[in-house]
Amino acid sequence: MSIKKTAQTVQFSLPGFSSGLVPSEPYIGIDEAGRGCLAGPVVSAAVWLPQGALSETLSNLTDSKLLKAEERTALVPLIKKEAIAFGLGLSWQQEVDAYNVLKATHISMLRAIIALKINFDKKNKAKTAGLESLPLLLVDGNRRIPDALFMDKAFLGNQTCKYPPRQRTLVKGDLLASSISAASVLAKTFRDDLMEAYELRYPNYGFYFHKGYATQAHRDAILKYGACRLHRKSFAGVR
């Protein structure tokens, strides 16, 4: 992380900002949490931060997996305050089983983008054009959201999309791009909180501790009690 002192404040930037890997134009960062889990939804977040260096309040922003739970929790309100707009999207285990986990992940990303646009329109007290009007989408990893998904009315709700938005992928984007890092924090924090809450409904599985990931304790619980409604029946560790 590079640090730049100004007359008024201290600004921080992730490696991708100075190396040129992150676009110089405005962009929306997109990341997911829970793709490899045996239970629960895939949760994606889309975050549009102001262009350029970060303020000091987000100085420890990085890949959510490298942060402690309390650090992620502390960052959430700061990200939401500084963001131009943000959104969360879920794709539940039923969709993971009905399609596949990759398509379910892309569906959750589309829903996060739609939620971001609704958030943006609400802040600006006006409905803007369709999804095609959004800035560049920068997706963590190496898999673009399929263009056809943006044109599928079954997933658009009340939104419109004349043509697919521009997008790029960035491997290790959660370490390189501030908006992707912010998205990773929002997605993981929301999903972890959700899975912890399901501990009350399904106390035999230990969701509070492993959040649905394939730990040995989780696998043992599935063998002992069978799968519950949260489990992804198409996954080898469940069926």
DSSP for the chain, written as a single string: -EEEE-SS-EEEE-HHHHHT-S-SS-EEEEEEE-TT-SBS-EEEEEEEPPSSSBPGGGTT---GGGS-HHHHHHHHHHHHHH-SEEEEEEE-HHHHHHS-HHHHHHHHHHHHHHHHHHHHHHHHTS--S-GGGS-EEEEESS-PPPHHHHT-HHHHTT---SSPPPEEEETTHHHH-HHHHHHHHHHHHHHHHHHHHTTTT-TTS-HHHHTT---HHHHHHHHHH---TTB-TTSTTT-
Mean pLDDT on 122-151? 94
Q: Is 196 annotated as a binding residue?
A: no
Q: Does domain 2-196 have CATH number 3.30.365.10?
A: no
pTM of the full structure: 0.91
> According to the model, what pLDDT value does residue 94 have?
98
- Name the band, by pLDDT with cuts 50, 70 and 90, for residue 13: low
> According to the model, what pLDDT value does residue 174 have?
92
Beta bridge partners of 231: 39
> According to the model, what pLDDT value does residue 226 have?
96
Q: Is 140 annotated as a binding residue?
A: yes
How high is the mean pLDDT of the chain? 91
> According to the model, what pLDDT value does residue 4 have?
40
Render pLDDT for 195-204 as a digit per residue (tens, 0 to 9).
Answer: 999 999 999 9
The first and second tokens of residue 169, run together, are 């992928």
Q: Above 90 in pLDDT, residue 49?
A: yes
> According to the model, what pLDDT value does residue 12 have?
46
Mean pLDDT on 69-83? 95
Per domain, the residue ranges of the chain are 2-196
> According to the model, what pLDDT value does residue 41 have?
99
Q: Is 31 annotated as a binding residue?
A: yes
Between 158 and 90, name the one with better pLDDT: 90
Mean pLDDT on 178-183? 95
